[in-house]
């Protein structure tokens, strides 16, 4: 999957649609990078969730995280979940250590998609990819690359509606 994502990232346009799946799978488990907890359907039920798929080798993923996360923070009806598709969780943890002061703290929210099972189910083929789902797991919108202003406004509206 890593090689596929890398190849696709090199040719993806910034306005590409992320994936094509209409809903989250019924069963998945994302491991927390900071230990202890997992994220799955039960933890996201009832919340608008912004999933940002990233990898340690993705240069553009950190800036996108820094732009999208503040749109969600402080809203109890919404959740921001960075999802690493790296081969190991250690690669993702090291990635955060190299990020800006604004992005480093997001490691507390970050998860690892072991074997990229969720990314595959959502048909994510390039990074960074942002997928917004409603409280029932229905995909509301998605984006690949650095989001344009229209996508950022759409996320603000969807997250705002979650209040």
pLDDT at 25: 93
Domain boundaries, the chain: 2-131+140-160
Nearest to 116 by CA among 81, 147, 85, 162: 85
Tokens representing 126 are: 């390039």
pLDDT at 118: 95
pLDDT at 12: 40
Whether residue 32 has pLDDT greater than 70: yes
pLDDT at 3: 43
Whether residue 52 has pLDDT greater than 60: yes
Dump pLDDT digits (tens) for 108-161: 999 999 989 999 999 999 999 999 999 999 999 999 999 999 999 999 999 987
For residues 2-17, average pLDDT:
42
Tokens representing 44 are: 């996201």
CATH code that applies to domain 2-131+140-160 = 3.40.30.10
Length in residues, the chain: 163
By percentage, how much of the chain surpasses pLDDT 70?
A: 87
Report the distance separating Cα 151 and Cα 145, nearest Å: 11
């Amino acid at each position: 999957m890593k090689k596929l994502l890398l190849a696709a990232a090199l040719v993806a346009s910034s306005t590409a649609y992320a994936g094509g799946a209409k809903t989250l799978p019924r069963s998945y488990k994302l491991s927390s990078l900071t230990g202890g907890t997992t994220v799955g359907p039960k933890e996201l039920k009832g919340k608008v969730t912004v999933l940002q798929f990233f990898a340690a080798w993705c240069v553009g993923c950190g800036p996108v995280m820094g732009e999208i996360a503040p749109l969600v923070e402080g809203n109890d009806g919404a959740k921001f979940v960075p999802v690493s598709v790296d081969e190991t969780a250690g690669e993702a943890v090291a990635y955060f250590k190299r990020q800006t002061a604004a992005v480093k703290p997001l490691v507390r929210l970050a998860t690892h998609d072991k074997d990229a099972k969720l990314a595959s189910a959502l048909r994510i083929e390039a990074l960074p990819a942002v997928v917004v789902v409603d409280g029932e797991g229905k995909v509301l919108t998605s984006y690949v690359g650095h989001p344009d202003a229209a996508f950022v406004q759409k996320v603000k509206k969807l997250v705002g509606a979650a209040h």
